[in-house]
Structures are given as structure tokens and as C-alpha cells.
Structure 1
Amino acid sequence: MVDSAGKAAHRSSAVAETWSVPLLFPPQRPRVVVKADLLPAVSVLSTAALLGIPLGWLWSLMAPPQRARVVTADGGLVPLELESWHRFDDLAIFGFLAMATGLLVGLVAWFLRERRGPVVLLAAAGGALLAAWLGTQMGAAFANSKYSVDSAPALGAVIDQAPRLESGWVILAAPLLTSLVYALMTAWNGREDLGRRLG
């Protein structure tokens, strides 16, 4: 009798623990803010895009030229042995610089605490993409002016050809790293509002 009464009391207490008082006003989940974030998003996009100028300038300084020999009277060129490897070097250097740009844009966009969210993320990724594209254009212009040939080279002369990017896909490195950094910071934050109210 006592044992069965104890079991019944234990069962009733367990059932009581599983019951909870229903909330009359459940907490609302934070919504995505669009209108208030549009102007800051445009600022993020345009500011990030301007990073393409120093990106192109740094690439033109770091990318190695390709040495070639003049073989015809009309200026036909043949690369020297092993110099064609610099085609990959130019692409790899720009890819690493674009990834560094994407990392910088992602971190700076994340530290805009009061504007955290998908709107600023899209603007940051778009700005990183524009910066990488502008870097390809400005980098080629800087490199061409650095390695410009003023007079027609003599037959058999060795000249430096300006570095060039032979694939346009490299510009995707910047927005991909921006999105990755922002996503990692979001997962690390763990708050439903991403800490916007603490700003």
C-alpha cells in the first residue's frame, strides 16, 4: 500500500513537472529589417566597391611580368622558357588579394552591429564583387602603364610583358569569402537578433 502510494505520488509529480503554464503573449521573433537598412546597405556597397582601386594597385606591384623575346619585325613575341608560369602566378596573386579584400569587407560589415542582417550581408557581398571587378580593370591599367614600351623593340630583344588575368572567375573569391566570414560570425553570435539591440 505504501509502495503503491509512493509510486502514484511520484507519477503525479512527474506529470506536474511536464505541464507548463501557457503563455498568453509569446515572445515575438525578431523580423528582418529592410527599410531602415537600405541606406546603410548602399553605403556599405559603395564603400566596399572602392577597395577595388587599392586592390588593383597592389596586384600591379606584386604580379610578375612575363619576359618574352621579339622574334619578328612586326613585334611578334615568344615567351622565354618557364616564363609562361607567371600566367598562373598573376591569377593566384589576384585571387589571394581578392580573398583578403572579401575578409576585410565581411568583418567590417559584421561590426556594424546595429545594421546586422541579410540586407547588409547582400550589400557587402555585392560590394566585394564590385571591388574585385574594379580591381581587375584598375590592375590591368596600372600594370600596362608600368610595363609600357615607348619605342619599337629590336629583333631579338627581351622585353617584359605586363601581367594579365586570363580568367574572370577569380572575382568570385571576394564575395564568397565575405559571405563565409559573415555566416561564421552569425553562427558564432547565436542571438536571434544578432545583437542589434546591444548596439
Structure 2
Amino acid sequence: MVDSAGKAAHRSSAVADAWSVPNLFPPHRARPKVVVKADLLPAVSVLSTAGLLGIPLGWLWSLMAPAQRERVVTADGQRVPLELESWHRFDDLAIYGFLALATGLLIGVIVWLMRERRGPVVFVAAAAGAALAGWLGTQIGVAFVNSKYAIDTAPALGAVISAAPQLESGWIWVAAPLMTSLVYALLAAWNGREDLGRRLG
């Protein structure tokens, strides 16, 4: 009698479990807070180190950017570009843009690998450092090419000279911080953890 009652109770509990409604509202968990104080000093280091990448960025651009060949057409030194040479104005801008995007990608990935410092503070520092690198690269690169293609003496009439590459749009520096922000945001979304995996560091 006892066994039959126990079996009946077991069957009734099994049926109840089968028809039970799942808990759609799990107990509330406290979300990890944004760490600010502990990340301030690393953020300054990230900003300054990323900004210094503008020096090799500008140097590489000065090596890769093509000069524009121009012919002297007047006695006072007025010049006009040779046929198809004016296309190098776009080439100079495009080469710097690709180099800036690669710099932003590098900054975003390296900063993300700093697992114990993941978060908005270091992210903002990385984006600001990439912006600094992009701006510094434009200044350093133009200075390098101006010294490389400097003309010491007045060219003769009809002479063909190489004019220094130029960056005709000052907004090209935003390519680096945009790429850094995009890479960091994609990696954070792919991670999916509330603390971005800081506690695993």
C-alpha cells in the first residue's frame, strides 16, 4: 500500500514537472559597475602610446606616396602637372587613408587584448589616441615629403620637377579613430559578457 502510494506521488510529481511553466524571469543579478579610477592611468598610457604611432604612420606614407611630376611653364616658376599626373592627388590621399585604417585596426585589437582593462574608459582613450595618431601622421608625413622633394634652386623654363605629395583633405585623420571604434565595438559585441571578460584576466 505504501509502495503504491509512493509510486502515485512520484507519477504526479513527474506530470507536474512536465507541465510546469519555465521561469521566464530569472532572479535579478547585479551588473558589474564601470571601473574608472583603476583604469585612468592605463588609459593615459594607451592614449600616449597610440598617439605615437602617428610618427611611423607619417613616415610610411612619405615613402609610399607618389610625387606629382610638373612642368615649369613660365619664367616666374609657374608649373602645371603632366598628363595623368594629377591622379596622384587622389593616390596620396587614398594611401594615407589605408595606412590610417590599418593603424586604427592595430590599436583596436591590441587594446582589446588588454583583458583586465576592457571597458569604456580605455576604449575612449584608444579612440582618442588613434585620432591623435591620425592627426600627427598628417603633420609628420607632410613635413617628411616637403623635405624630401625640396627644391633648392629655381627650375629652368620647361624643366620637369617632382612636386611633393600633399594631403588635400584634413579630415583623413578621422579614418584611424573610426576604425579603432568599429573594431573595439565589434569585439565587445562578439564577447557578449557583461564585464567583457575582465574577471577572467
| Cα deviation 1:26-79 (Å, max 9, x = unaligned) | 532111111111111111001000000000000000000000001111111111
CA displacement at 1:89 relative to structure 2 = 0.1
Q: Kindly report structure 1 stretches of 4+ aligned residues shifted beyond 2 Å.
A: 8-23
* Secondary structure of the corresponding residue to residue 71 of structure 2: strand
Matched, 1:173 2:175: yes
2:30 alignment partner in structure 1: 28
Instruction: Name the CA shift for 1:67/1:29 in 2 (closer, same or farther; >3 Å).
Output: same
SS at match of 1:153: coil
1:119 maps to 2:121:
yes
Matched, 1:103 2:102: no
Aligned-residue offset at 1:19: 6.0
| Distance (Å, rounded) in 1 between the aligned partners of 2:121 and 2:186 | 17
2:133 pairs with one of 131, 156, 161 = 131
CA distance in 1, matches of 2:172, 2:24: 56
Report SS of the residue matched to 2:33.
coil
**How many Å separate the matches in 1 of 2:26 and 2:96?**
58
Tell me how far 1:17 sits from its aligned partner.
4.7
State the alpha-carbon separation in 1 of the partners of residues 95 and 153 from structure 2. Answer: 30
In the other structure, the counterpart of 1:65 is 67
* DSSP 3-state at the match of 1:193: coil
Structure 2 residues without counterparts, runs of 5 or longer: 1-11
Which deviations, in whole Å up to 9, do the C-alpha atoms of 1:160-182 show, x marking residues without a partner?
A: 00000000121111011101111
How far, CA to CA, are the matches of 2:26 and 2:191 in structure 1?
29
Give the secondary-structure state (helix, strand or coil) at the position aligned to 1:131.
helix
Given the superposition, is the C-alpha separation of residues 148 and 19 from structure 1 closer, same or farther in structure 2, using an over 3 Å criterion?
closer
Out of 81, 84, 89, the residue aligned to residue 87 of structure 1 is 89
Tell me which moved more, 100-109 or 184-193. Answer: 184-193
**TM-score, normalization: structure 1?**
0.89
Moved more, 126-135 or 8-17: 8-17
What residue is the counterpart of 1:75 in the other structure?
77
TM-score for the superposition, normalised by structure 2 = 0.88
Q: State, as a whole percentage, how many aligned pairs show the same letter.
A: 73
Q: Aligned partners of 1:12 and 1:104: how far apart in 2?
A: 56
CA distance in 2, matches of 1:94, 1:63: 8
Take 1:74 and 1:155, find their aligned partners in 2: how far apart are those partners?
Answer: 9
| Residue-pair matches, total | 190
Task: Return the letter of the residue paired with 1:194.
Answer: L
Alpha-carbon distance in structure 1 between the residues aligned to 2:64 and 2:30 = 52
Summarize the Cα distance change of 1:88–1:13 in structure 2 as closer, same or farther, 3 Å threshold: same
